[in-house]
Amino acid sequence: MSSDPPVAGATRRGFLQSAGALAGTPLVAGSGAEAATPVPAEPRPAAPVALTLHVNGKSHALKLEPRTTLLDALRDHLGLVGTKKGCDRGQCGACTVLVDGRRINACLSLALAHDGEQIVTIEGLGQPGALHPLQAAFVAADAFQCGYCTPGQICSGVALMAEARRGDCSAATPDVRRQGAVALDEAEIRERMSGNLCRCGAYANIVQAVRGVARREGVA
């Protein structure tokens, strides 16, 4: 039985290199089994939606892409950069703001969800020369170092005192059946502030600042 003569200069190494090059060549779009898989088109951004955000006593008419978070709306569209973007996953608490008196993580909430609601950021709590009592307490107690987490810490502190006055319980509340205001001892404050992280480790002074204001407001 005859066989084809070897190609001049052909080697096993050359054959393998040629085969490897061919394997990396993309298929040309055609028909049947050889047709290349079509590349999906990039999703088009949704049309902007009109909404009104009431922030720190002022109304802002905006048109935002529906996926815009409240955090990005505050920082990028309203210029309120006191609210910080830390983890952007709801784990650090740096983006804490007050919505209708309750604290939320602004990075986890869509701006559209708060159309018409009353929002308070750190800029709305106090100003230089007229600080909120908790802002003044943070300064007096040296309750911050780099200050990045401080806006969220203060907003949480303001909210937790309102929660205690309402009688909202926490995991540290000894008797959840008890009616009326909850006393903010150190354990309660640490538990209720546990969603706000401080990489500088100023926790002891943060607790001192919150507890001092809570005493003056009758919830400690």
Are the C-beta atoms of residues 214 and 161 closer than 8 Å to each other? Answer: yes
Average confidence (pLDDT) over 190-205: 97
60, β-bridge pairs:
53
Q: What is the mean pLDDT of the chain?
A: 90
Mean pLDDT of 52-63: 98
Pairing of strands 118-120, 96-99: antiparallel
Whether 104 has a pLDDT exceeding 90, the answer reads yes
Looking at 3.10.20.30, 3.90.870.10, 1.10.3720.10, 3.30.460.80, the CATH number of the domain 47-125 comes to: 3.10.20.30
pLDDT at residue 44 is higher than 60: yes
How many other C-beta atoms are found inside a 10 Å radius of the C-beta of residue 126?
A: 15
Alpha carbon 170 to its chain centroid, in Å, reads 22
pLDDT at 25: 54
Residue of 87, 85, 86, 44 lying closest to 67 (CA atoms): 44
pLDDT surpasses 80 at 43: no
Task: Read off the pLDDT of residues 72-93 as tens digits, 9 standing for 90 and up.
Answer: 999 999 999 999 999 999 999 9
pLDDT above 70 for 31:
no
Q: What angle do CA 21, 23, 29 make, to 5 degrees?
A: 115
- Quote the pLDDT of residue 127: 87
Whether this prediction's pTM lies above 0.85 is answered by no
H/E stretch holding 99 reads strand 96-99
What's the token pair of residue 51? 């909404």
Instruction: Tell me the domain boundaries of the chain.
Output: 47-125, 126-220
2-18 pLDDT per residue, tens: 555 555 566 776 766 66
Nearest to 219 by CA among 177, 165, 178: 165
Asked: is 126-220 a CATH 3.90.226.10 domain? The reply is no
Picking from 171, 176, 177, 157, the residue whose alpha carbon sits closest to that of residue 220 is: 157
Is residue 59 predicted with pLDDT exceeding 90?
yes
CA 92 to chain centre: 8
- For the cut 70, the answer to whether the pLDDT of residue 181 exceeds it is yes
pLDDT tier for residue 45 given thresholds of 50, 70 and 90: confident
- Going 191 to 192 to 194 to 197, the CA torsion angle's sign is negative
What's the rounded mean pLDDT across residues 41-59?
92
Sheet of 49-55: strand order equals 58-64, 49-55, 118-120, 96-99, 102-105
Provide the 8-state DSSP code for 32. G
Dihedral class, residue 213 (left if φ above 0, else alpha if ψ from -120 to 50, else beta)? alpha
The Cα 15–Cα 122 span in angstroms is 69
